[in-house]
Amino acid sequence: MIKKTSFLLTMLLVSSMSILAQDKDAVIEAIIQEANENSQLETLGHQLMDGIGPRLVGTPQMKKAHDWAAAKYESWGIPARNEQWGEWKGWERGISHIDMVHPRVQSLRGTQLAWSPSTPKKGVTAELVVLPTVSDSMEFKNWLPNVKGKLVMISMPQPTGRPDYNWEEFATEKSFEKMKDEREEQSKAWDQNMGNIGLNRRSLPIALEEAGAVGIVASYWSNGFGVNKIFGAYTKEVPTIDLELEDYGMLYRLVESGQKPQLHVVAESKELGKMPTFNTIAEIKGSEKPDEYVILSAHFDSWDGGTGATDNGTGTLVMMEAMRILKKAYPNPKRTILVGHWGSEEQGLNGSRAFVEDNPEIVEGVQALFNQDNGTGRVVRISGGGFLNAYDYLGKWLHEVPTEITDEIETTFPGTPARGGSDYASFQAAGAPAFSLSSLNWSYWNYTWHTNRDTYDKIIFDDVRNNAILTAILAYMASEHPEKTSREKAVLPISNRTGEQLEWPEPRSPERNGGQN
Ligand SMILES: [Zn+2]
């Protein structure tokens, strides 16, 4: 009798376990199948990057993107909302068109920086000047009146437009070394002169416009062929433009050889007063533990020299697609699955910091957060973020992901918490188990990050699909996990830099009234 019961019990246990395993496999299989056979990534990517375009904080496109994302979620049956958390200086980019008109005519490749003041509709035509070599700030002040009515070139001209990897491949060792030595010397001399001038990258453009310059011409090379980083302008009245490396270099040489080159610059833009800033939040409510959260996280904003395709269009696509797939393959999650598309990450994690500050109960209920924000590549690194027991659960969840996806992933446990970099840091600072899904490089730092080349053509859709599957399975496993995850913090190591023990970062408040100077 006893024997029989125990046999039956064993049978029951075995069969219920195998049903569980089967269900689990069925959900994971459904996730993979939906991702591969009904992918929406290309369509979403086209609509967001090509149709809406870049998503600079405070621009109408940013608002348009939030509305588009919320409508997408609603169309998939996932309730969504745009939560306002602050305001930012409103601005809209218009036409940038830059031509050299003397000593000959050539159309140039360049654009105004974000928040650049507008030229008149007809543009400005003016001669270029370069900064003088001075021995002190007084000498610079005496020179300043020379900029009246001129366009001023404020960046060091690069000695070569070939990236170092190209030199390394083709140059003789001797000439490669020589180029690097000369470049280093030139950079040192440039920095020394800037020190003598006594102004920095913020105060110099303002001093120049106050002295009557009609525009600032810069060039921020990103160390790749034809690629520049495009950030924000500091001028308040006159436009600031960025020119590609060789257009800038050519003009610089013409100024130095006394040819007095002139540009015609049309850089139109509109100031729009204060604009509200948002996070787009969508969620699939948990059926058993609605107050515990698995959060999918990616910032939604971008710089606007390109279309923000890999920073962070691809992270955005991963999270949207994972949510869409989860709604189909796992419509009744145990815990709430929430996606956050944060605003104004680029100016200091502002959207996610606001969310953390405004929603302490959600932060308290975080089971796990997965953030992706370093380009289009397959995820290859995951760190435990300094959570002592992260391996116990994260390791288990990763085990359920197909090995063809996890094979390349290097994990670090317990790791250390981030001090910035992307939005997971906002949650880690508040003690919530938040993790970064870190991508393979795909020349991110040189070619797409904050550049004029961060566009749709750089997206590697197979890698993004891979990441959507990974994220959806991790979210599913985190939602089903039997216990609430541990957020016990590891003892942090001694800093190599200061020799003192590292401390856990503190939550920081967002900038809720940005761009007001
Ligand atoms: Zn980013």
Give the model's pLDDT for residue 282: 98
Say how many domains are in the chain: 2
Give the model's pLDDT for residue 4: 43
Q: Is residue 493 part of a domain?
A: no
Same domain, 123 and 250: yes
* Residue 19, token pair as written in the block: 């049903």
What is the 299 CA–ligand 1 centroid distance (Å)? Answer: 7
Same domain, 231 and 360: no
What is the 186 CA–ligand 1 centroid distance (Å)? Answer: 32
What is the 429 CA–ligand 1 centroid distance (Å)? Answer: 18
Q: How far is CA 49 from CA 42, 70, 227, 458, in A?
A: 10, 16, 19, 11
What is the 444 CA–ligand 1 centroid distance (Å)? Answer: 11
What is the 382 CA–ligand 1 centroid distance (Å)? Answer: 17
Give the model's pLDDT for residue 516: 80
Same domain, 383 and 430: yes
Using one digit for the tens of pLDDT, what is the confidence trace for 288-326?
999 999 999 999 999 999 999 999 999 999 999 999 999
Same domain, 178 and 327: no
What is the 419 CA–ligand 1 centroid distance (Å)? Answer: 15
Give the model's pLDDT for residue 496: 87
Same domain, 67 and 117: no
Nearest one of 441, 445, 423 to 510, comparing CA atoms: 423
Q: In which residue are the tokens 């956050």 written? A: 340
What is the 312 CA–ligand 1 centroid distance (Å)? Answer: 5
Give the model's pLDDT for residue 2: 43
What is the 497 CA–ligand 1 centroid distance (Å)? Answer: 26
What is the 370 CA–ligand 1 centroid distance (Å)? Answer: 14
Give the model's pLDDT for residue 14: 45
Same domain, 74 and 220: no
Give the model's pLDDT for residue 20: 57
Instruction: Indicate left, alpha or beta for 259 from its phi (over 0: left) and psi (-120 to 50: alpha).
Output: alpha
Same domain, 147 and 263: yes
Q: Is residue 358 part of a domain?
A: yes
Give the domain extent around 250.
93-273
What is the 301 CA–ligand 1 centroid distance (Å)? Answer: 8
**Exposed, middle or buried by CB within 10 Å (0-12, 13-18, 19+), for 508?**
middle
What is the 318 CA–ligand 1 centroid distance (Å)? Answer: 13
Q: Is residue 331 part of a domain?
A: yes
What is the 54 CA–ligand 1 centroid distance (Å)? Answer: 13
Q: Of 253, 273, 293, which residue sits at a domain end?
A: 273
Q: Is residue 486 part of a domain?
A: no
Q: Is residue 1 part of a domain?
A: no
What is the 231 CA–ligand 1 centroid distance (Å)? Answer: 13
What is the 123 CA–ligand 1 centroid distance (Å)? Answer: 33
Nearest one of 333, 403, 344 to 368, comparing CA atoms: 333
What is the 144 CA–ligand 1 centroid distance (Å)? Answer: 38
Q: Of 246, 273, 300, which residue sits at a domain end?
A: 273
What is the 183 CA–ligand 1 centroid distance (Å)? Answer: 30
Q: Of 224, 252, 273, which residue sits at a domain end?
A: 273
* Residue 434, token pair as written in the block: 């938040």
Same domain, 99 and 226: yes
What is the 311 CA–ligand 1 centroid distance (Å)? Answer: 4
Same domain, 42 and 164: no
First to last CA, the chain: 83
Same domain, 429 and 307: yes
Q: How far is CA 48 from CA 55, 98, 223, 307, in A?
A: 9, 27, 27, 9
Q: CA-CA-CA-CA torsion for 485, 487, 489, 495, nearest 10 degrees?
A: 90
| pLDDT averaged per 10 residues, the chain (length 517) | 43 48 84 98 98 98 98 98 98 98 98 98 97 98 98 98 98 98 98 98 97 98 98 97 98 98 98 97 98 98 98 98 98 98 98 98 98 98 97 97 96 95 98 98 97 98 98 98 97 90 95 89
Same domain, 115 and 172: yes
Give the model's pLDDT for residue 517: 61
What is the 402 CA–ligand 1 centroid distance (Å)? Answer: 27
Same domain, 240 and 220: yes
Residues 96, 110: Cα–Cα separation, whole Å: 8
Indicate which CATH number applies to the domain containing 351.
Answer: 3.40.630.10
Q: Is residue 269 part of a domain?
A: yes
What is the 3 CA–ligand 1 centroid distance (Å)? Answer: 62
Q: Is residue 367 part of a domain?
A: yes
**Quick one: angle between helices 314-329 and 60-75, nearest 10?**
20
Q: Is residue 329 part of a domain?
A: yes
Indicate which CATH number applies to the domain containing 133.
Answer: 3.50.30.30
What is the 280 CA–ligand 1 centroid distance (Å)? Answer: 16
